[in-house]
Amino acid sequence: MIGDRVRVDGVPHVVTGISGTGVRLADAAGEVIAATVTGLLAEGRLDLDGAEGGRRSVPRREAGLEGLPEAMVETARWWERHIAEVVYGLPPDAPTGTRPKPQYDPELHSLTAREKAKTGELAAAGHRVSASTLKHRRQRWEAIGLAGLKRSRRLPRSRRRRQRS
């Protein structure tokens, strides 16, 4: 799970992201590696017993969503599924061995191109999302996790301006 501690090549790392069979790990110096769990295990590089007592330094996946209405949590999870597919090429629930759709394959397309493909896919499904909205949500998800995707209840700009006067 996100926040779990593992060792890679004997060096402590924290799990910072998971998507399908892929995992993103960060060490104490902030160096990030992305790999597949099966690849690390097959090479004998991964120790799942944890590091430094298994203490967590990263919030759990659900942190920041406690007490929110279930509909809001489900919306955040919906966004996470789409954003993970843009970032990693696969949604979080992809079965082992699944290959990314060509338009989301990180080996074939830039992040910007994958974001553009996702906005097109969402529009075709009836969800109008601008490229900048998707980018900002992705950045919040990468920085905060699932809680970064919860909907904020800000007033429209015109109402905010009137209230300041």
- The per-residue pLDDT for 63 is 59
Contact predicate 103/117, CB 8 Å = yes
- The per-residue pLDDT for 110 is 92
The pTM of this model reads 0.58
**Any bridge partners for residue 14, and if so which?**
5, 26
**Any bridge partners for residue 5, and if so which?**
14
What does pLDDT average to in each consecutive run of 10 residues of the chain (165 residues)? 79 82 81 82 71 39 69 87 88 78 91 95 95 92 79 55 49
- The per-residue pLDDT for 60 is 41
Question: Where in the chain are the domains?
Answer: 5-54, 70-149
Cα→Cα distances 82→4, 61, 79, 87, 119, Å: 23, 16, 5, 9, 10
- The per-residue pLDDT for 129 is 93
Contact predicate 150/65, CB 8 Å = yes
- The per-residue pLDDT for 109 is 92
- The per-residue pLDDT for 55 is 34
